[in-house]
């Protein structure tokens, strides 16, 4: 079965350090989503890409978070500088949207997530 691949699976680092999380979407998918999951806030959408173009990153703290998709097989989420409140599980999901259709009628396939702990 095709899967979304995320690396690293776990990351522990100190406050102030740069953190980079990577995601390889399912081959052929044209949408990529970044989510953050915490006990308090649940699953929150951070950013959304369609055909590699960022369409929405309103869920991200702009001063420290950035999301990019340098090519169709790689999406990155960076935090610089990291803070303890960034500790969470970060999920990447991908999907396939047909031209002219909203993404919302297609399922999202989630990766296994990156468990991030900022000390």
Q: Taking CB under 8 A as the rule, does residue 11 contact other proteins?
A: no
Nearer to other proteins, 81 or 96 (CB): 96
| Helix then strand then coil, % of the chain, to nearest 5 | 5, 50, 45
Cβ burial of 66 (10 Å; 0-12, 13-18, 19+) is middle
Contact of 13 with 83, CB cutoff 8 Å: no
Please state the closest distance from residue 81 (CB atom) to other proteins, in A.
Answer: 28
Q: Taking CB under 8 A as the rule, does residue 112 contact other proteins?
A: yes
Contacts of 112 (CB under 8 A, 6+ apart): 6, 9
Nearer to other proteins, 25 or 111 (CB): 111
Contact of 67 with 57, CB cutoff 8 Å: yes
Stretch in the footprint of other proteins (CB under 8 A) among 18-26, 60-68, 70-78, 97-105? 97-105
Stretch in the footprint of other proteins (CB under 8 A) among 12-20, 67-75, 76-84, 102-110? 102-110
Site residues (vs other proteins, CB under 8 A): 33, 42-45, 48, 55-56, 91, 102-113
């Amino acid at each position: 079965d095709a899967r979304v691949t995320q690396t690293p699976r776990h990351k522990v680092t100190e406050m102030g350090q740069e953190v980079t999380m990577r995601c390889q979407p399912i081959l052929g998918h044209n949408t990529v989503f970044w989510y953050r999951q915490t006990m308090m806030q649940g699953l929150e959408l951070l950013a959304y890409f369609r055909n590699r173009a960022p369409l929405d990153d309103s869920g991200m703290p702009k001063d420290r978070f950035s999301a990019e998709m340098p090519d169709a097989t790689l999406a990155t989420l960076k935090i610089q500088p990291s803070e303890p409140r960034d500790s969470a599980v970060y999920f990447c999901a991908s999907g396939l949207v047909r031209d002219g259709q909203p993404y919302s009628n297609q399922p999202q396939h989630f990766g296994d997530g990156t468990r991030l702990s900022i000390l």
